[in-house]
Amino acid sequence: MPNNYSNIKELIELWEEYENSKHSISLKDFGLWLSDKKDKEDSAKEQNKVSKEVKAHFDFHNKLPLQKQFITLISRAGRFIDFYMKKAFEDLPIKSGHEFQFLITVNEMKNPRKTDLINIGITELSTGLETIKRMISAGLLEDTTDKNDKRVKRLQITKKGTNVLTKAIDKFQYLDKMIDTFNDHDKVRFLPSLIGFNDYHNSVFMKYKHKNFNELIQLLKIK
């Protein structure tokens, strides 16, 4: 049986470091602190592998205030997901996660209005309409007229769109694993925060999407 005293000694030293850096002490908080410390150490190791120019950028980012680091990382997370999705869909008529979202949403909602699809996709009206037009031209979606209001255009998925969606979903058995680098513990920690983040900003988007930046500042009472 291997001697684990060295691990116990390291744990005691880490607890001492934790006590010296924290006012509130608990085993639960120690676990979170230790996990965060390891994440930062792993990140530092990865940074040592990159070019001097990229390392300089990482150093600059790490000196940013916590809020700016958080916003930057959230933004980059979305870009990484888009990167992997584009790779996954290279042999399909859909070329982005955005088009996949439109396709699967129409399939789930059966016959949504164009405006509903655009709102769910958190998309600018002009961009959303252009995306829908492109997908209709590709034979993935078709527009229909609302039975009760001839002015309203609705969408439904075509047979070709259904086949493409099936192939795209099949890729997710690999895509999910490629993107997901979090263990279950991390998911339990982060999911409530991400849900709260999504709910708040989704509400802002739905209420004030037509407002300009200065109006948003006033409406959200930002000082």
Q: Could you state, in order of their start, the residue ranges of all structural domains in the chain?
A: 86-178, 182-223
Return the higher-pLDDT residue of 105 and 77: 105
Q: How many Cα atoms sit within 13 Å of 98 on the Cβ side?
A: 18
- The percentage of the chain sitting over the pLDDT mark of 70, rounded to a whole number, equals 86
List Cβ neighbours of 171 (8 Å cut-off, separation of 6 or more).
Answer: 88, 89
Quick one: how far is CA 198 from the chain centroid? 10
pTM, entire model: 0.63
pLDDT range class, residue 6, cuts 50, 70, 90: confident
Given a cut of 70, is residue 43 above it in pLDDT? no
Which of 55-64, 73-82, 160-169 is the most confident on average? 160-169
What per-residue confidence (pLDDT) applies to 167?
93
d(CA 210, CA 215): 10
What per-residue confidence (pLDDT) applies to 161?
94
Given a cut of 60, is residue 50 above it in pLDDT? no
Return the higher-pLDDT residue of 30 and 161: 161
What per-residue confidence (pLDDT) applies to 16?
79
Average pLDDT on 207-217 reads 88
Fold type of domain 86-178: Arc Repressor Mutant, subunit A (1.10.10)
- As a whole number, the mean pLDDT across the chain is 82
